[in-house]
Chain A
């Protein structure tokens, strides 16, 4: 495989499982040196041993955690070229009738404010890159930004908000003369360990799998490496003119009306 990201340094938040872990592996395979955050130290140790990436047990929603994290990355790698704001949670979400005030605030603090803080820290660091202010910031939104779910109100709201964050960051970075880009990605249902767990714990795993696969007109779920491939493209210099965009990857789920 060609090394499209040779010499680049990447940060992946929520890098210990699912799309984040897959992206850490893929970014390393494409030649980047990678730092990642997350909450599962055991899983993190395995990924570090496998890939040579560095683990930083920092929480995206904690503003005080960002300056030391960025100082650590710069000290270790000398720069930051790629930030993949991927960390997200779903636990405690519900419908407008069932969600609690506390759950709403917790979900938005991680899924929305945490992403803003990631982008803020990334822009600050990328501005000081040796050779000039360059970089690619990628926000992991979801197809649910376009098709909110009735039983995931906080998740849906946050994912839609990421579009505005992405465009605002892109416009600011462009108009202030930097070569820092920012885009959102919008995956459909991805076959992560978490989704596999949901399927396997269902009363009828086969039926549960068929239900997840049937959500996309393409009749299958996305694989983690497919999403990582999109992250790599947006991270690479080949996407130098792509900024403020929303890139979908959902097997045609949002191309039409859902369920029709």
Chain B
């Protein structure tokens, strides 16, 4: 039996990396999935991805930093699906550099996407998620993509750390708020370690370009070596936890953090 039959999911940052892997996992389990990202709906990458994913998938252009875009997304979900069971606030960017060299505009930009985006999505969809949650055993589920960088600091990643740490505690406060009011929405955060994603590869290339290492590959190999189990995660391994948190099996999980890091933060 497919375990997300009848459920509707909205995933931000869904065109690549972890977001795309989650979309694939949810579709496998019978959910209807709305992939949200920045690309134009008519873009080739959107067309190709939707054709591959099949009829359960659809696309919505959404800039998570824009409140008006979220309001429009909510209207769209209501009219096309009439419900939302799972919201994955996954869209995110990175921002690294020595603190004295970080541009304020770069700080504002990462906060607007990695933090404002999670706030706006959660706020805008509370009513629809709450209504849908009354009709399922486990209630609705909001899954916020934090990071191990929301748990521990990393030199020259202060802005990313600040944003991911914010997501961790925002998750707990909203989980308490819903639970206390009896709103049938659970909220949890996922904390991936180093994952083989385009974001990681591009970020490492930027560090290599700054002369921190000879190549992005050298940095990525270094990250694998610094992970106790000796490798990076595949995006599908993060999708496994995102599926657990969307499924009926996690019906008592809320306000909790789910670390998927191959032992990195246990060190």
Residues of A within 8 A of B (CB): 1-2, 167, 170-171, 174-175, 177, 179, 187-188, 216-219, 222-223, 226-227, 229-230, 232-233, 236, 238-252, 254-256
Contacts of A230 in B (CB 8 A): 244, 249-250, 253
Among residues of A, the one whose C-beta sits closest to the C-beta of B139 is: A218
Q: Mark out the residues of chain B between 250 and 266 whose CB falls within 8 Å of any chain A CB in the assembled complex.
A: 250-266
Q: Is the CB of B228 within 8 A of A175?
A: yes
User: Does the CB pair A242–B260 fall under 8 Å?
Assistant: yes
Pairwise interchain contact A240-B237, C-beta atoms closer than 8 A: yes
Q: Which of these binds chain A: B82-90, B174-182, B210-218? A: B174-182
Report B-chain residues with C-beta under 8 Å of the C-beta of A179: 229
- Whether A241 pairs with B229 at a CB distance below 8 angstroms is yes
Q: List 11 A-B contacts (CB under 8 A).
A: A217-B175, A217-B180, A230-B244, A238-B244, A242-B260, A244-B265, A246-B259, A251-B179, A251-B254, A252-B175, A252-B179
Q: In which size bucket is the chain B interface?
A: 35 or more
A244 touches B266 (CB 8 A): yes
Interface presence of B267 (CB below 8 A): yes
Contact call A171/B266, Cβ cutoff below 8 A: yes
Q: Which residues of B contact A242 (CB under 8 A)?
A: 241, 259-260
List 3 A-B pairs, minimum CB-CB distance, nearest first. A244-B266, A255-B255, A229-B249
Contact yes or no, A241 B249, CB < 8 A: no
A177 vs B263: C-alpha distance when bound (angstroms): 13
CB distance from B252 to the nearest CB of A (A): 4
Q: Is B243 an interface residue (CB 8 A)?
A: yes
Interface SS of B by simple majority: mixed
Q: Write the nearest CB–CB distance from B149 to chain A, whole angstroms.
A: 16
Which residues of B sit under 8 angstroms from A247, Cβ to Cβ?
256, 258
The contact of B252 among A226, A244, A256, by CB within 8 Å, is A226
Cβ contact within 8 Å between B228 and A243: yes
- Given known pairs A252-B254, A255-B172, A255-B256, the reply for A219 and B229 (CB within 8 Å) is no
Q: Who on chain B is nearest to A1 by CB?
A: B1
> Are A170 and B256 interface neighbours, CB within 8 A?
no
Given contacts A217-B180, A230-B249, A244-B266, contact A252 B255 (CB under 8 A): yes
Are A239 and B228 in contact, with the CB atoms below 8 A?
A: no
Residues of A within 8 A of B179 (CB): 216-219, 251-252
Contact B261 A241 (CB under 8 A): yes
- Seed contacts A230-B249, A245-B261; 8 additional CB < 8 Å A-B pairs: A216-B179, A223-B252, A229-B248, A238-B243, A239-B240, A242-B241, A244-B264, A252-B175
Q: How far is the CB of A218 from chain B (nearest CB, A)?
A: 5
The one of A2, A167, A248, A256 in contact with B173, judged by C-beta atoms closer than 8 angstroms, is: A256
A residues less than 8 Å from B252 (CB atoms): 187-188, 218, 222-223, 226-227, 249-251
* Inter-chain contact B266/A245, CB cutoff 8 Å: yes
Give bound CA distance, A199 to B250, whole Å.
Answer: 25
A9 to B264 alpha-carbon distance, docked (Å)? 28
A93 to B153 CA separation, bound complex (whole angstroms): 39
Known interface pairs A238-B243, A243-B228, A251-B179. Does A226 touch B263 (Cβ–Cβ under 8 Å)? no
Residues of B within 8 A of A227 (CB): 252
In the bound assembly, the distance between CA atoms of A254 and B254 in angstroms comes to 10
B241 near A239: Cβ-Cβ < 8 Å:
yes
A110 to chain B, nearest CB (A): 25
In the bound complex, what is the Cα–Cα distance between A227 and B237 (angstroms)?
A: 21
Which residue on chain B has the smallest CB distance to residue A255?
Answer: B255
